[in-house]
Amino acid sequence: MSARVGIIVRTRQRPAFLRRALADIAAQTAPGWRVVVVDDGGDAAEVDAIVAAAGLDDRASVVHIAPGEGGRCIAANTGVRALDTEYVVLHDDDDRWHPEFLARTIDWLDAHPAHAAVSAATEIVYEENRSGVWVEVGRAPFWAGMTRISLSEMLSVNRAVPISVVYRRAVHDEVGWYDETLDAVEDWDLYLRILRSHEIGFLVGEPLAFWTQRPDSVGVDANSMFGLAVEHARDDAVVRDRALAEWVHREGPGLPLYLSRLQAEVIAHVDEAVGRLRHELREDLRQDLRREIDAHQPLLSRLRRFRRRLSR
């Protein structure tokens, strides 16, 4: 069967995660997929050996990016450009799938031709390294109760992560590639561009995608949520400022000026209310403490007299 979905695995100097990712992909029940492993500046020989040992045969290939010439967005674009499949999905080396993930997402896109992409319910999996082995230590739902991918919610914060989203490769011809000027939030930026003119479907129900997080890890073992926290904050602002500049250029600064002033007034009112509440709480605590002292004053007086006798 010819491949309908292309899977891009971005990896860099994480052999254990890469082995796990390839085994995760091999366990998919859906046929008709191909894998491109994008080695982003790692040990080329090591990556080649891991891919060869995964037993994926001609369904897997490797693209090597020289050290210092890659990055998250360059690696993503490199992988997509190496594919000619109808659908594509980013499977970063540390994340995981339910065995039915590809089958259900492909079925959704086949049944909803107007949707440019589909996201699946996702669960956060927390891991710790114990004696050289990554061990699951907890789970939490990612956006519990979410039933759809909403543009209004996506404008506030990203509601999907790459491991959960399968999309039509053709959308790149319409909305462009991953923005290689960004070091983070490249997926959110792409989803916002897609949502300007298309819908992104959502598979409600049991989690099919698993986003692993290692809050205490540093270096190559860290996941981007924590290892690139500074870059996330900076590029979040870059994407928002760029969109605001487009609005101002087209519509003028009137509405943003009004909203920014309104925001400042709301913040001032909130700060005033918080300050007043803190003052009232302090006064209440002082009064409660004074009442307690007054209630025990006879006992305190006897204790003082007893102490004076002891000192004599």
- CATH architecture of the region 5-250: Alpha-Beta Complex (3.90)
Task: Name residue 39's amino acid.
Answer: D
Domain boundaries, the chain: 5-250, 255-311
pLDDT of residue 312: 62
pLDDT of residue 218: 73
| Strand boundaries in 194-251, DSSP class E | 199-203, 209-213
- Mean pLDDT throughout 250-269? 89
Task: Name residue 177's amino acid.
Answer: W
pLDDT digit string, tens, across residues 54-86: 999 899 999 999 998 999 999 999 999 999 999
DSSP SS3 for 62: strand
pLDDT digit string, tens, across residues 92-149: 999 999 999 999 999 999 999 999 999 999 999 999 988 888 889 999 999 999 999 9
CB neighbour list of residue 193: distance below 8 Å, 6 or more residues apart: 175, 176
| Strand boundaries in 82-197, DSSP class E | 87-90, 96-97, 115-120, 122-130, 133-142, 165-168
pLDDT of residue 300: 63
Are residues 203 and 105 in contact, defined by beta-carbon separation less than 8 angstroms? Answer: yes
Q: How far apart are CA 47 and CA 39, in angstroms?
A: 7
Least confident of 218-222, 270-274, 282-286: 218-222
- Mean pLDDT throughout 157-163? 95
Task: Name residue 12's amino acid.
Answer: R
Percent of the chain past pLDDT 90, that is, above it, reads 71
**Strand 122-130, strand 165-168: pairing:** unpaired
Tokens matching residue 202: 């959502």
| Helix (H) or strand (E) segment spanning residue 79 | helix 72-81
Name which residue leads in pLDDT, 231 or 107. 107
- Mean pLDDT throughout 45-56? 96
pLDDT digit string, tens, across residues 194-215: 999 999 999 999 999 999 998 8
CB neighbour list of residue 124: distance below 8 Å, 6 or more residues apart: 139, 140, 141, 142, 210, 211, 212, 213
Tokens 């007893």, residue?
306
The CA angle 87-187-5, to the nearest 5 degrees, is: 15
